[in-house]
Each structure stands twice: as structure tokens, then as C-alpha cells.
Amino acid sequence: MITPRHIAIIMDGNGRWAKKKRLPRIEGHRRGSETAAKIIKDAADLGVEVLTLYTFSSENWKRPASEVDALMDLFEKSLKKNSTRIVSDNIVFKVIGRRDGLPEGLLSEIDKITKASENNTGIRLNLAVNYGGRQEIIDAVKHICSLNKEKAFDISGLDEIFFNKFLYTADIPDPDLIIRTSGEMRLSNFLLWQAAYSELYVTDTLWPDFGKKELEEAAQPDYMETKFKGMPLIKKQGRPR
């Protein structure tokens, strides 16, 4: 079986899951957080080296303030609850995205777990928080321009390899497979540079219902072994809603 080296997941459908269950939206996010914790272990068991989870996009700030505050509180509590397990399970933890606007308590928890897990050797877990693909590219361009201005770099030498060094994901391989739950057929500003040759898998399954079975189906051998050179594949499971 060919195991994707790097899987990235757009965890979509928490709100719709809660609505179907006639529960508050935040309950959908809580269940989604529990699903994420299980999928991390499932991915590690499959032999995945890197797992990137789209946790909170830069566009999510546009949601009602009450929902954003609840999400930040849930995220911080979830990290505190799982911090010991993350370290003991040999997970390397990192958050990618801009730190601006994130609560101090959350940033403190992120920094603690990042430091405590930096010498681990197991699966690399990236949580994309306050993340946007366009913003990531802009940040990289600004950094390179500052080097050029300081004459620390000649812009004529700029190429893809050099540019990649300034992305949030500079030290990891691009995703082999990007999974999106809930049936939406779009990337939503997620890993735009890195997804150039990624295979795309979309499922109607809402994120809180996504489990090991669904993960294995997305990464199944007959799918991962079928590739078009220079073109991502889109495999659609189910019909869009």
C-alpha cells in the first residue's frame, strides 16, 4: 500500500452537522475537535509523516464575534486537554499562520506544546490557525523583498526552490493528498502554493462523522497510484449538497 507522505485536510461541516442534530453550532465544533484528535492517531497508524489540519482560516474572523470567541476558547481548552498526549505520543506539534489577533492564552499554550514536542520523532502535526494561502504568499514576498532591500539577496536569483524557503511550510514536503469533507469543491485559500500537484479528494461526509474508514478510503492504493503528470486528480465520493 502506498501511504501519502503528507495529508492535508479541510475540516468542513461542523455547523451543518450540528444543525442536522438540532444542536448549537459550537457543539458541532466540539465534536469536530474530538474527530481531529482521533484522526491524528489514525494518520500516524497509517504511516503518514505529516498531517496538516485547516483549523481556523483568516476568513473565519468574519463570523459572529460570539462564535469566534467560542472557537478560540474551545481551541485553547482542547490543546490543554491533549497537550500531554501530544508529547507522549511522539507527535511533533506546530501551528502555521499569522499570530496577530490570536488570544494571549492560546498563543501561550501553542508555544508550550511546540517547545515540549520539538524533539519528538513521530508524525508532524500542523494546525493551520489564522491561516490563509494568499496571506502566506504575501508574507513570503515581503520577507524576500526586505532581504533584497538590505542587499542580502539578489532578486534576480529568485526561483521556486528559494521562494519555498519563506513559506510557513518550508521544512516539510508539499501535501500528496488534500481531503475536503462536507462536499464543497474548493480549496478555500488553503495551501495554494503547496497544492500545485496535490491530489484532491472530496467527500460528502461531514467532519464530525469522518473516521479511520473514511481516511483509509481517501488514501486507498488504487487512487494514490493513479496520477496524471502535472495535474491534480479530484476524486469525488458522493454528491455535493
What are the residue numbers of the active site? 12, 60
How many Cβ atoms are within 10 Å of 211's Cβ, its own excluded? 13
Residue 150 vs residues 22, 66, 81, 162, 164: alpha-carbon distances, Å: 57, 44, 44, 17, 20
Contacts of residue 87, defined as CB under 8 A and 6 or more positions apart, other chains included, come to 113, 116, 117, 120
Q: Tell me, what DSSP letter sits at residue 122? A: S
Q: Which of 5, 55, 42, 18 is nearest to 217 (CA)?
A: 42
Q: Which of 188, 173, 194, 186 is nearest to 234 (CA)?
A: 186
Q: At what angle do helices 25-46 and 65-88 cross, to 10 degrees?
A: 30
Write the DSSP string, 205-240.
Answer: S-GGG--HHHHHHHT-HHHHT--BTTB--EEEES--
76 neighbors 55 (Cβ within 8 angstroms): no
How many Cβ atoms are within 10 Å of 150's Cβ, its own excluded? 8
